[in-house]
A and B are shown apart, each in its own frame.
Chain A
Amino acid sequence: MRHFTIELEELKTKLLQMGGMVEAAVHRSVRAVVERDVELAKKVREGEGAINTMEMEIDELATKLLVLQQPVARDLRFLTSVLKINTDLERMGDLANNLASRAQSLSKLPALKLDIDIPHMSSLVESMLLKSLDAFLRADADLAQDVLMSDDEVDRIRGEAYGEIVAHMQANPSDVQAGVEMIFVVRNLERIGDHATNMAEDVIYMAKGVDVRHHAKTSV
């Protein structure tokens, strides 16, 4: 196998490792919120540094290959997509970290009685992330297209949740602080979904050379 191909495979493996780290951080941070688990929240926050380090390593390796190999065609599309996905993953790591921080704050406040299905929303978002990573691994544009479709559902749940939380705060002024924290929880989850959507768009570009950003419903 060509040396360059081996290096591209190494980069792919590294990005998937980073994806796994971010996936775990998102999953744990949501659990920390739902189960009011401050220890788990602390673990997520401790893991942020490793994700950041990984981001820099991937950037460095991808930039090195761009400079030294001057790739074109699918190699070029792969490398530019890796750089963008890397940034999205790091931002998801930040958002998981923020979710963990909300979990810590919420644990000190009385639990809210809200009719919001955070586990459902988070399982949708986590599945978007998982599918994006899987689509990247297989360069599968069809699977990536599925992710784009899920984003609308996440946005719908966020809209409903906002309404619910605001109504609860109006009726129960003493819960305003916890309500604001919950708005951030919902907002962070929705943003993680947005980044998964960006990743899926990059995978479609990588696989097919087609740019579907900003008109996500365009079929591949």
Chain B
Amino acid sequence: MRSVNLNFFYSQFQALHDINLEIESNKITALIGPSGCGKSTFLRTLNRINETIRGANYTGEILLDGVSVLSQDVTSLRRRVGMVFQKSNPFPKSIFDNIAYGPKVNGMTAKADLEVTVERSLRRSALWEEVKDKLQKPASALSGGQQQRLCIARAMAVEPEVLLLDEPCSALDPIATLKIEELLFSIKDSTTIVIVTHNMQQAARVADKTGFFMLGKLVEFDRTETIFKNPSKKETEDYVTGRFG
């Protein structure tokens, strides 16, 4: 997936300036930067979630497998490019129904198929052992960390090619955070992952590549190790070492 000369506007306000970024398949890409730098806006353009905001528009292109995301049916695009948000948002349904929802919308009806898909998604999200005996319980009864893993399992149930995560661990304790990070490692063989995070240590731990955004511009994009050991731009160095501002 990649963006080409992407300029994004909220009405008159330009939130992104000429972003050219190639997201490598089956790798974890982290986007870091101060609040308001455009990293979440960028993430949200990738599966056209931003379209729901009045006045939002962009120039340039976002390509998935070389095809503009605008030329694709939005439902099928979002099946291919899933998303998990900062605050876990399970549906007010059972654990089972949360996971089965996406596959059902995409035409899976046989109970046996749904059961297989639900178990596989929960296993992949490292949640199966914790919930296998209470699949019919409401998802809201799970802990915060479990709810977030459920949301990842729900996104994974439709087998997306790309998974976008917008600060998925900012409300979680270190143990729940570690579980999510391990989960990301375990799914990256089949899924391309883009994660927006304020936690630079998290970016350093999980990401293969890291992009640093500031004032709507992509300042630097490189191997994560380079960004945190020897960044080439002074702005990046000032930000990662806490000298920013």
Contacts and interface: CB of A to CB of B under 8 A. Distances in A.
A77 B230 contact: yes
Contacts of A73: 228-231, 236-237, 240-241
B201 A70 contact: yes
A49 interface: no
Contacts of B228: 72-73, 76
A82 to B, nearest CB: 16
A181 B127 CA distance: 70
Contacts of B240: 72-73
A120 interface: no
Given A70-B201, A72-B204, A209 B229 contact: yes
A75 interface: yes
A5 B200 CA distance: 19
B92 interface: no
Contact of B229 (A2, A70, A77): A77
B242 interface: yes
A156 interface: no
B229 A76 contact: yes
Nearest to B200: A72
A74 interface: yes
Contacts of A72: 200, 204, 228-229, 240-241
A71 interface: yes
Interface residues of A, number: 12
A71 B201 CA distance: 10
Interface string B219-245: 000000000111100001100111100
Name the prevailing secondary structure of the B interface residues. Answer: helix
Interface residues of B, number: 13
A71 B241 contact: yes
Contacts of A209: 229-230
Interface in B95-142: none
Interface string A199-210: 000000000110
Contacts of B241: 71-75
Nearest to B237: A73
Nearest to A208: B230
A74 B237 contact: yes
A77 B230 CA distance: 8
Nearest to B230: A209
B234 to A, nearest CB: 10
Nearest to B236: A73
A2 B230 contact: no
A4 B242 contact: yes
Contacts of B237: 73-74
B174 to A, nearest CB: 14
Interface string A44-84: 00000000000000000000000000111111110000000
Contacts of B242: 2, 4
Contacts of A4: 242
A73 B229 CA distance: 4
* Of listed A2, A73, A208, residue having the most chain B CB within 10 A: A73
A215 B200 CA distance: 34
A24 B178 CA distance: 50
Contacts of A70: 201
The 8 A-B pairs of least Cβ separation, nearest first, read A209-B230, A72-B228, A73-B237, A72-B240, A73-B241, A75-B241, A73-B240, A73-B231
20 contacts: A2-B242, A2-B243, A4-B242, A70-B201, A71-B241, A72-B204, A72-B229, A72-B240, A73-B228, A73-B230, A73-B231, A73-B237, A73-B240, A73-B241, A75-B241, A76-B228, A76-B229, A208-B230, A209-B229, A209-B230
Given A72-B204, A74-B237, A208-B230, 7 more contacts: A2-B243, A71-B241, A72-B241, A73-B228, A73-B231, A76-B228, A77-B230
